[in-house]
Amino acid sequence: MRLGVLDVGSNTVHLLVVDAHRGAHPTPMTSDKTQLRLTDHLDDTGALTTAGSDALVRAVERGGAAAAAAGCEDLIAFATSALRDATNSAAVLERVRQRTGVGLEVLPGEDEARYTFLAVRRWYGWSAGRLLVLDIGGGSLELATGIDEQPAVAASLPLGAARLTRDFFRTDPPGRKEIEALREHLDAELAPVAKELRRSNPPDLAVGTSKTFRSLARLAGAAPSGAGPRVRRTLTDVALRQLAAFVTRMSPGDLAELEGVSASRAHQLAAGALVAEAAMRALRVPQLEIYPWALREGVILRRLDTLDGTAQIDRSAQDAPERLGRLTTYEARCTG
């Protein structure tokens, strides 16, 4: 089947179209991306502004039209941190549905972590053993660990690169006091979650996924994206500490000139580097494998798993099965 996934994130509205069937590797057919930066459109009360809502409607309309033009048999449309946390999210979602015909489902943060973990597990297979997965988004940081297809522990923290840039940095580049204040905040927020994740056995493989980790790895000398998704890329804690000291002294304009850093995300790279550094330190991880799949691919894989109606509730064996509960069922479809 031809399947479209419309991901409304904190930075972009991204449509990914794949050809796939259950048990097969999803083959990307086309991709359409709109830079939106929803976190920049939140007012002092945490509500999405009218201008932000208008921009979102246009972006979703464009994504829905692109999915229809690509011949998608199914469209899964979901939103993550920016809309999840907006104080007027229900009204915004209804406006999007009425104007575009696309029903966006707000994905809980822990489900983000679970779906990303599933994608990583399918990529590396059972031979990878116990996995630890980190994903830095614009609005949140997802963490998950486990030995099966569903993680034993999955968590989401409001430590996204765009959110922290907005909340902690007032100068460009950030001042020393701003950086230290953010580091203290990160350590405090990560401590209890890191303790819970470390209760499990140490991971056999620690993985970083997201544009932030890919950019940091590229700056540390990893192969460019043009080398293909199967080239091994890593990021060490030593290299990351050096990078954090480097990028926090640079303006977004200068960062955007570096290979592997997109102009649209350069403004949040300093905060992203500090989040990555703090997470690796809290979890005592000396090295991450940088992985090409993430949330969208996990959503696609779970959708394909449920095509026969047998996987509405995941009952796979795991470290703590009573923790998982019911997985999100995606019923958002393009009706226009």
91-141 pLDDT, tens digit each: 999 999 999 999 999 999 999 999 999 999 999 999 999 999 999 999 999
Q: Bridge partners of 231? A: none
Residue 194 has pLDDT above 70, yes or no: yes
Q: What is the pLDDT of residue 328?
A: 37
What is the DSSP code string of 133-161? EEEE-SS-EEEEEESSSS-SEEEEES--H
Which tens digit of pLDDT belongs to each residue from 23-78? 778 888 999 999 999 988 999 999 999 999 999 999 999 999 999 999 999 999 99
| φ, ψ dihedrals at 185, nearest 5° | -65, -45
Any idea which fold 2-106 has?
Answer: Nucleotidyltransferase; domain 5 (3.30.420)
Residue 231 tokens read as 């080239």
Q: 19-25 long-range CB contacts below 8 Å, 24 or more apart?
A: 20/300, 20/304, 21/304, 22/304, 22/305, 22/307, 22/308, 23/304, 24/304
* Reported confidence tier of residue 316, pLDDT bands at 50, 70, 90: very low
Strand order in the sheet with 27-35: 27-35, 12-19, 2-8, 74-79, 105-106
List Cβ neighbours of 228 (8 Å cut-off, separation of 6 or more): none
pLDDT tens figures, 139-177: 999 999 999 999 999 999 999 999 999 999 999 999 999
Please classify residue 241 by burial: count the beta carbons closer than 10 Å to its beta carbon, then call 0-12 exposed, 13-18 middle and 19+ buried. Answer: middle
Q: What pLDDT digit, counting tens, does each position of 198-253 carry?
A: 998 899 999 999 999 999 999 999 999 999 989 999 999 999 999 999 999 999 99
* Average pLDDT, rounded, for the chain: 90
What is the C-alpha to C-alpha distance for residues 255 and 257, in angstroms, rounded to an integer? 5
Q: Which pLDDT score is estimated for 116?
A: 97
Q: Is-contact 15 36, C-beta < 8 A? A: no
pLDDT at 329 over 70: no
In the prediction, which pLDDT does 309 show? 54
Short-list 146, 281, 124, CA closest to 209: 124
Q: What is the pLDDT of residue 21?
A: 82
Domain chopping of the chain, boundaries: 2-106, 109-290
Mean pLDDT value of segment 275-304: 95
Cβ atoms of residues 96 and 105 within 8 Å: no
Q: Give the model's pLDDT for residue 306.
A: 86
- Please name the residues in contact with 40: beta carbons below 8 A apart, sequence gap of 6 or more: 52, 162, 166
Q: Which residue has the tokens 């954090």?
A: 244
Instruction: Evaluate if residue 317 carries a pLDDT over 90.
Output: no
Residue 313 has pLDDT above 80, yes or no: no
Q: At 249, give phi and psi (nearest 5°).
A: -100, 0
- What is the predicted pLDDT for the residue at 47? 96
What ranges make up the beta strands (E) of 222-315? Answer: 234-236, 287-290
Tell me the fold of 109-290.
Nucleotidyltransferase; domain 5 (3.30.420)
Cα distance between residue 324 and residue 110, in whole Å = 10
Alpha carbon dihedral 205, 208, 213, 217, in 10-degree steps, equals 10
Instruction: For residue 132, list its beta bridge partners.
Output: 145, 206
Q: For the stretch 44-54, what's the b/e string if a residue is b when 16 or more beta carbons lie within 10 angstroms of its beta carbon?
A: eeebbeeebbe
* Across 156-165, 307-316, 318-327, least confident range: 318-327
User: How far is the C-alpha of 213 from the C-alpha of 10, rounded, in Å?
Assistant: 16
**pLDDT confidence of residue 63:** 96
Amino acid of residue 43: D
| Residue of 319 and 227 predicted with greater confidence | 227
Model confidence at 322: pLDDT above 90: no
- Cα angle 237, 214, 305 (rounded to 5 degrees) comes to 110
- State pTM to two decimals: 0.90
CA-CA distance, 103 to 195, in Å (whole number)?
Answer: 37
Phi-psi region of 71 (alpha: psi -120 to 50; beta: other; left: phi over 0): left
Q: Do 316 and 149 meet the contact criterion of CB atoms below 8 Å apart?
A: yes
109-290 shares the fold of 2-106: yes
